[in-house]
Amino acid sequence: MAGPLEGLKIVEFVGLGPTSFTAMMLSDMGADVVRIDRRSKAGEPNPYPVLGTKYDVMARNRGTVFLDLKTPEGLQVAFELLEKADALLEGFRPGVMERVGLSPDKCIELNPRLVYTRITGWGQSGPLSHTAGHDINYIALSGLLAATGAPGTPPLPPLNLIGDFGGGGMLAAFGVLCGIMYAQRTGKGQVVDAAMLDGTNLMGAMIFGLRSMGRWSLERGRNWIDGGAPYYGCYECADGKYVGIGPIEPHFFALLAEKAGLDEDIFRDIGVERWPALREEMARVFRTRTRAEWCGLLERSDACVSPVLDLDEAPAHPQNAARGNFVDVDGVLHSAPAPRFSRTPGAIRAKDTGDAASTLETWGLPHERIAALREKGVI
């Protein structure tokens, strides 16, 4: 059964991280995505060894065309694909696509309903727009990096999940679909400026609201969901493994206290000043049993306790297994498409749906012309 985005056609100009993630999300849901890669297979060594291998899981579901955009013939192929497309995805610094000859103005003039989606760290404007950066830089400017980590230690980067994938790739996927819905109603395309800084700021909406209310401290370890509160954090167990607990609501915490054998009297006053002492007591209690013992006692209750699994353990957890959250494809573990749809579920079809010729043929280029382009080294 086809996914909910069946019939949409997307041209992805291959970049790193967020752009591939956006394209993966769209193709998981049935969109027909063709990847245009400007790199030459016989060119310089690849600085990112995962690219082009079966381990490049974010390249699934779509074919790749290595296209020389410095040639008139290569640029013409790109224009022909864009003429048929609903959206374009690119993740280069501002000005790169213009220099190649694929500016938004030119592409939207060719295809007035095209949603031209630009994924960058800083955005298309502002004093940093032309400078390099990575996830840590974008979330540093959002104020959210300063809010992570233990007090008295440097802020702790939460992998590259917030800037690259949450504030970048997912934001861009949302922007693509918003733009396509507008184009379907009006016939008019537009440019989507999806900046990881902007998306990270958006994800911090609740925290900024709490700060404005005077309910969020700039000092780490003094807030209810930053690891400072004794009822929201990770605790080491007798076997050196960890559980994560989050019984924020009083009735959930009461259940945890009852089942874990905590002395409720010492937890009746849980003001911020008492948090360190209460955390010490909870740490002592959690060290009395193994992680498996705590999970057997608490995991399937409303005490809000879960094992802190590593990357190898996570796929085997009963909840992940029951949901089919991980899929083995040719010996490589893939995260399953999400969200779930009752009528038109997404699917992992393949890492690469075919070579350049078959990919271009599905987009309407004649076989003879593709062969001629290949002969010239354009593809």
Token digits for 133? 């950066």
Question: CB under 8 Å to 111, separation ≥6 — which residues?
Answer: 82, 83, 84, 85, 189
- Angle between helix axes 18-28 and 171-186 (nearest 10 degrees) is 60
The answer to whether the bond into 339 is cis (omega within 30° of 0) is: yes
Q: Cα(first)–Cα(last) distance of the chain, in Å?
A: 32
* 234 secondary structure, DSSP code: E
**Phi, psi (5° rounding) for residue 241?**
-90, 175
Per-position DSSP letters for 89-134, written without gaps between them: EE-SPTTHHHHHT--HHHHHHHSTT-EEEEEESS-SSSTTTTS---
CB atoms within 10 A of CB 272: 14
* 148 secondary structure, DSSP code: S
The pairing of beta strand 190-195 with beta strand 115-120:
parallel
Q: Give strand pairing partners of 65.
A: 36
Catalytic residue among 56, 68, 134, 193, which? 134
Would you call 317 a catalytic residue per the annotation? no
Token digits for 57? 């899981």
Distance CA 15, CA 117 (A): 13
Distance CA 63, CA 357 (A): 10
Residue 245, burial from CB neighbour count under 10 angstroms (0-12, 13-18, 19+): buried
Distance CA 168, CA 165 (A): 5
Catalytic residue among 164, 198, 226, 334, which? 164
> Is 15 in a helix, a strand, or coil?
coil
Would you call 134 a catalytic residue per the annotation? yes
| Residues forming the active site | 134, 164
